[in-house]
Amino acid sequence: MRVKDPMTTTQTAASISLEGLAKTFGGQPAVAGLDLSLPPGAFLVLLGPSGCGKTTTLRMIAGLEDPTSGRIRFGDRVIADGGSGLSVPAERRGIGMVFQSYALWPHMTVRANVEWPLKVDGWSAADRRARVQEVLAMLGIDQLAGRHPAQLSGGQQQRVAIARTVAPRPKVLLFDEPLSNLDARLRVDTRAELVQVHLATGATSVYVTHDQIEALAMATHIAVLRGGRLEQFGTPDDLLQRPRTAFVAEFLGSPSAVLLEGEVRGGTLRSASLGGAALAGGLDAPEGTVLTAMYRPERLVLAAAEGEPAPEAGAEVTVLEATPSAGRFVVTVAAGAAGRFSVVAEQRIAVGAKRRLVLPPAPDALFDAAGDRWEPAG
Amino acid sequence: MTSRWSRALLNPVTLLALVVLLVLGVLVAAPLAGLIGATVPAGAGGTGTGTSWRDVLASPMSQNLFWTPLRNSILVALGTAVLSTVLGGFLAWVVVFSDIPGKRLIGVLATIPFALPSFALALAWTSVFRNDRVGGTPGLLGSLGIQVPDVLAWGAVPVTLTLVAHYFSLSFVIIAAALASLGGDLIAAAELTGASRLRVAVRIALPAVSPALLSSFLLAFAEGVSNFASPALLGLPVRFQTLSTRLYGAISTGDTERGYVLSILLVAVAAVVLYLGNRATRGRNFAVITGKSSRPRLVRLRAWRLPVLTLAWALIAATTLLPMAVLAMSTLTRRANSFDAGFTLHYWIGASDPGISHGMAGVLRDAALTTATGNTVALGACVALGAVLLGMLGAYVVRRHRGPFVTGGIGFLSYVPFLIPGIALGAAFIALFGSGAGPLPSLYGTFWILVLAGIAASIPYAFQTAKSSLGQVSYELEEAATLAGAGTGRRIGRILLPLSARGVVGGAMLVFVTVVRDLSLMVLLVTPATPLLAVQTFRYASEGFTQHANAVTLIIAAVSVTATILARRLQGARRPWNA
């Protein structure tokens, strides 16, 4: 860990709230009505597959795009309002942003890259020198100060980008997939370092990624976006324990939750593709209702396949992959028409082996055909 | 909504967009409108007599005025296009795929003819092949006692060949770049099937570069149609007229309205060809873009080596080295193009002598030429500055502005002059600024009409250069500066300009060069009050001051070639055939 000195925060962090925020590009909605509010000092991850509107949302917060409708507030202050066309220019919002490509100015040295924003901000030469030295030392790149970006490795460029962003002590820090250009190992190291930078600056942070592991590792709050809409907003635990939609359940967690579809017959949800196995019982739902049962992967058991197969013993599955993970194994199986999914097993299972899938008595959640959480009436 | 509109108007990018559109409107749209307006009868909203279209197209005069020049233009252009593409293609193949020695040097020399003023090659031709048909001093061959047939001395053949010597160089660059971008893997994959070299060349390499061949053919055709210098020097004396010399003749003898009609027709012919070329090649770039570029495997020529080597060097010699040597030699002969009377440096440094050339001093001591040099340099600098500034502003607006109307309008107006032959653009500027129209002052005879015409002619190149230079600076670099708190001016000054400077300065130098060596655009606009080097050369050549004309041409050629090479180096253009 290279973060050495905690930095003193001189500007108080701001809360951020989005109210009905929407953006259309040439008639195509990119973001369709986001509502969320974030306490000061929080670390929000905007999470979703590509094209879900997360980067557009970040760029609206930055002021690089203007909303088509809806409002953005920092604290009490409205900084963008699509209705009236009001938009505080990006440079006056007191934000810093780390770009996916790092966006280091190639004609300036590392020192000049970090110093220039301070110069624009009107800092005195002495203050600038001290502050540049401080942030470069904090990120462990002070010996690189005289180099040009082209002479640095990807990881070093990333550090310079972070140093340049935090130097002017922004109230809000924005990150646009900053780790996506790093190799796997460096990504894990830098992730922890970013959290330390966040803690040290105390700035409210918004971080865009499509990598749910990054999100669960770093966030105090996660907003899952899909097709420009907010699927769920909450703490990482909320989202893992109480996913509001099937999409969130499947998107989060490693391995992701297992979703099995079934039809209600006489109060019991049965999966046709798993040989009529019962997924959930005692349901107060009309005959023929289609529901999806969600199981966390560690709750499914793969039993030996010998013996006479009884329907209630579980459907037969074929092992495709067994990956060691934290002392256990993530086993991916093919389950006929029910598709492929992963479960967690204590032992390695040979690839190609047949196993019986044993379901727990009740699923962790049920979702209706639209993918929303289904609760038994009453 | 009102606040939205006023906000949009106060946005610096929007303001800039309006300014750029206005300037482009005055420089590009207005002259064209003026040109057309001047041929429309007064009753129908124009300022013309209304009979000129019929005179040109359907009257007893029209054979002489239009149809014969049109036929000659097309004949010359077709010959130029075919020969340029064949010779340029041959040389490109030699440089990219063959194993002959010294191909790197061939590659460099093959790009030089295009940097030369096009009248240099025509003057070199007359210095060798001119015969006594129209009087005056004969060329080198004539003075050695060799009778040069008319067909080699004047008309379609010499005009076409001098144009080929100029434009094959353009074909070479286009085709070599395409061949080099094919990559060795594509050729190797074809060879591994067991196909013969010839079959690979015909079935794989040629079709793969067909867009480049087509585009080289059409560009050379359009240039052949619109070139003025070659037909003016090698055709006009024997009344071999092309569209461009015909319209020059009409306007310079006061028959302006018919000249304008001919200009419009010339624009139509050139524009149709260039537009078709653009359409045919758009989206048909077969270049294989992979991370790893593999060098093409070289073809061993074996027995063919000597013939190919000889042919390649002969081509280079005939288009670059020999013409320059001939021009240089002829400036040193006491009697033009003849060794009999001995050699002298008089035409370079001699003082005025009433016995020689009507008392004109050597070019380095001639006061008129000193003025012309000063004017030419000033014009080149003003045009380069103006065109690059306008190009940069336009490119910046297109980069930042989202409105399809604004960006489309700027893109279109910046492209249109590319379709207009220089001499027709000159005519359009006379039509608009000749007498002043509406709010526009009469600028004819001033330095400023030259500057404006030069900027209009250079804007397509300047805009493209600026766009590609700015394009190399990623949006995120600019946005990072925005978030650092920098305003528009500071962002442009500290981030965009430093990062695009090399490309832009290189572009400015190339604009400077095209202005310095330009004849066709300026020849109608120049008056005795505003002499320019290239136009002066043309006058000397037409009046028979061979040595003076050739000496000035050499100076222009030296400046052009040096600046072109410097600019290319500055822009970091790797030789495309070594990609």
Of B477, B482, B494, the CB nearest to A90: B482
Q: Which two tokens stand for residue B151?
A: 């067909």
Best CA proximity match to B234, nearest among B541, B5, B561: B541
The chain B residue lying nearest A162, using CA atoms, is B480
Please report which confidence band the pLDDT of residue A165 belongs to, taking 50, 70 and 90 as the band edges: very high
**Contact across the interface for B486 and A120, Cβ inside 8 Å:** yes
Token pair for B165? 């010597």
Within an 8 Å CB–CB cutoff, is residue A99 touching chain B? yes
| Partners of A71 in the β-ladder | A19, A81
pLDDT value at position B165? 92
The strand pair at A204-209 and A43-47 is best described as: parallel
| Closest CB to B485 among A64, A91, A104 | A91
List of chain B residues whose C-beta atoms are within 8 Å of the C-beta of residue A100: 476
> For chain B, how many helices (H) and strands (E)?
31, 2
Q: Do B482 and A96 touch (CB under 8 A)?
A: no
Q: pLDDT of B446-503, one tens digit each? A: 899 999 999 999 999 899 888 888 887 888 888 899 888 888 888 888 888 888 888 8
- What's the Cα-to-Cα distance from B565 to each of B376, B390, B562, B573, rounded to whole Å? 20, 24, 5, 10
What mean pLDDT do residues B68-95 have?
92
CB proximity B104 to A under 8 Å: no
**Does B122 score more than 70 pLDDT?**
yes
Evaluate if residue A2 carries a pLDDT over 50.
Answer: no
Span B430-437, average pLDDT: 78
Would the pLDDT of B7 be above 50? yes
Nearest to A71 by CA among A9, A128, A11, A22: A22
Output the pLDDT for position B291.
36
Q: What percent of chain A has pLDDT over 70?
A: 94
Query: Residue B323: enclosing H or E segment and its boundaries?
Result: helix B322-332
CA–CA separation, A57 and A176 (whole Å) = 11
Provide, as residue numbers in chain B, all residues whose Cβ is less than 8 Å from the Cβ of A123: none
The shortest C-alpha distance from B495 to chain A (Å) reads: 7
Closest Cβ opposite residue B474 in set A85, A103, A116: A103
Q: Are A101 and B3 within 8 A, CB to CB? A: no
Strands A172-176 and A204-209, by their bridges, are parallel
Put simply, the answer to whether A120 touches B4 (Cβ < 8 Å) is: no
B3·A85 Cβ contact <8 A: yes
Give the per-residue pLDDT at A126.
95
Query: Which pLDDT score is estimated for B185?
Result: 67
Q: Which residue of B has its CA nearest to A117?
A: B484
Cβ pair B292, B182 in contact under 8 A: no
Q: Which residues in chain B touch residue A164, judged by CB atoms under 8 angstroms apart? A: 480, 484
Give pLDDT tens digits for B268-306.
988 888 887 777 666 544 444 333 345 566 777 777 888
**Rounded to a whole number, what is the distance in angstroms from the first to the last CA of chain B?**
53
Give tens-digit pLDDT for B362-421.
777 777 888 888 999 999 999 999 999 999 999 999 888 777 788 888 888 988 898 888
B7: contact with A, CB 8 A cutoff = yes
The per-residue pLDDT for A22 is 94
Find the mean pLDDT for residues B540-566.
86
> Residue A310's pLDDT is what?
54
Question: Percentage of residues in chain B with pLDDT exceeding 70?
Answer: 89
Averaged pLDDT, B106-126: 86
Q: Nearest CA to CA, how far is A91 from chain B (Å)? A: 4
Cα Rg for chain B, rounded, in angstroms? 25
CATH number of A250-367: 2.40.50.140
Q: What is the nearest CA distance from A168 to chain B, expressed in angstroms?
A: 8
Q: Is the pLDDT of residue B134 over 50?
A: yes
User: Which one is the CATH code of A16-249: 3.40.50.720, 3.20.20.370, 3.30.200.20, 3.40.50.300?
Assistant: 3.40.50.300
Residue B210 has pLDDT above 90, yes or no: no
Residue A161 has pLDDT above 50, yes or no: yes
Say if A103 is an interface residue toward chain B (CB within 8 Å): yes
Cβ-defined contact of A90 to B499 (cutoff 8 Å): no
A185 shares contact with chain B (CB less than 8 Å): no
* Residues A97/A164, Cβ–Cβ less than 8 Å: no
Contact A97/B499, CB-based, under 8 Å? Answer: no
Residues from chain A that touch B490, judged by Cβ atoms under 8 A, are: 120
B431-460: average pLDDT: 85
A222 pLDDT more than 80:
yes
| Average pLDDT value for residue range A284-292 | 88
Section A216-235 average pLDDT: 94
Contact B83, B259 (CB under 8 A): no
Q: Do domains A16-249 and A250-367 have the same CATH topology?
A: no
Domain annotation for chain B: domains and CATH numbers = 347-579 (1.10.3720.10)
What pLDDT, in 10s, does the model give residues A8-64? 444 567 899 999 999 998 888 899 999 999 999 999 999 999 889 999 999 999 988
Q: How confident is the model at residue B437 (pLDDT cuts 50, 70, 90)?
A: low
Q: Is the pLDDT of residue B579 over 70?
A: no
Percent of chain B with pLDDT over 90: 17
For residue A117, what are the CA distances in angstroms to A65, A122, A167, A191, B480?
A: 21, 9, 8, 24, 9
Amino acid at A109: T
Tell whether B481 is within 8 A of chain A (Cβ): yes
Q: What is the DSSP string of B447-483?
A: HHHHHHHHHHHHHHHHHHHHHHHHHTS-HHHHHHHHH
Task: Tell me whether 0.90 is exceeded by the ipTM.
Answer: no
User: Are B507 and B571 a contacting pair, CB within 8 Å?
Assistant: yes
pLDDT-based confidence at A209, cuts 50/70/90?
very high
Q: Which two tokens stand for residue B71?
A: 């036929």
Q: Check CB contact of A117 with chain B, cutoff 8 Å.
A: yes
Amino acid at B71: R
- Give the gap in angstroms from C-alpha A103 to the nearest C-alpha of chain B: 5
In Å, the largest CA–CA distance within chain B is 85
CB proximity A92 to B under 8 Å: yes
Average pLDDT over residues A160-189: 89
Q: Are B498 and B473 in contact (CB under 8 A)?
A: no
What is the identity of the amino acid at B478? E
CA A24 vs CA A59, A84, B74, B169: distances in Å: 13, 16, 52, 49
Is residue B408 less than 8 Å (CB to CB) from chain A? no
**Is the CB of residue B208 less than 8 Å from the CB of residue B186?**
yes
DSSP code of residue A255? T
Partners of residue A290 on adjacent β-strands: A263
Domain ranges (residues) in chain A: 16-249, 250-367
- Which H or E run contains A77? strand A77-81
A112-126, A176-190, B55-69: which is most confident: A112-126
Q: What mean pLDDT comes out for the span B178-194? A: 71
Does residue B159 or residue B434 have the better pLDDT?
A: B159
Cis peptide before A236 (omega within 30 of 0): no
Residues 492-531 of B with CB under 8 A from A: 494-495, 498-499
Could you read off the pLDDT of B215-261 as tens digits, one per residue? Answer: 889 888 988 988 998 999 899 888 899 999 998 998 888 888 888 89
Between A113 and B419, the more confident residue is: A113
How does residue B438 score in pLDDT terms, banded at 50, 70 and 90? low
pLDDT bucket at A313, cuts 50 / 70 / 90: low
What pLDDT was estimated at residue A378?
A: 44
* Among the ranges given (A180-189, A200-209, A284-293, B345-354), the one the predictor scored with the smallest mean pLDDT: B345-354
- DSSP structural state of residue A163: H
Least confident range of A218-222, A372-376, B438-442: B438-442
Q: Does B485 touch chain A if contact means CB atoms closer than 8 Å?
A: yes
Average confidence score pLDDT of chain B: 83
Rounded CA gap, A69 and A362, in Å?
Answer: 44
Lowest mean pLDDT among A44-53, B139-148, B180-189, B444-453: B180-189
Q: Is B479 on the interface with A (CB under 8 A)?
A: yes
Q: How many CB pairs under 8 A join A and B?
A: 62
Largest CA distance in chain A: 83
CA separation for the pair B30, B549 (Å, rounded):
35
Select from A92, A104, A107 the Cβ nearest to the Cβ of B498. Answer: A107
Q: Rounded to whole angstroms, how far apart are CA atoms B577 and A254?
A: 51
Residue B145 has pLDDT above 70, yes or no: yes
Give the chain B residue nearest A106 (alpha carbons).
B499
Contact B175, B97 (CB under 8 A): no
CB atoms within 10 A of CB A307: 9
User: For residues A213 and A203, what is the distance between their CA atoms, to the nearest angstrom?
Assistant: 22
Arithmetic mean of pLDDT, B139-163: 86
Question: Which residue of B lies nearest to A165 if distances are taken between CA atoms?
Answer: B484
pLDDT of B400 reads 82
**DSSP-based three-state secondary structure for B218:** helix
B161 pLDDT higher than 70: yes
CA A117 to chain B, closest CA, distance in angstroms equals 5
Is the pLDDT at A286 greater than 80? The verdict is yes
In degrees and rounded to multiples of 5, residue A73 shows phi and psi of -120, 140
Out of B480, B485, B494, closest to residue A103 by CB:
B480
Q: What is the Cα–Cα distance from B246 to B231, expressed in whole angstroms? A: 10
> Cβ of B474 and A101 within 8 Å?
yes
Helices B422-433 and B447-471: crossing angle in degrees, nearest 10, is 120
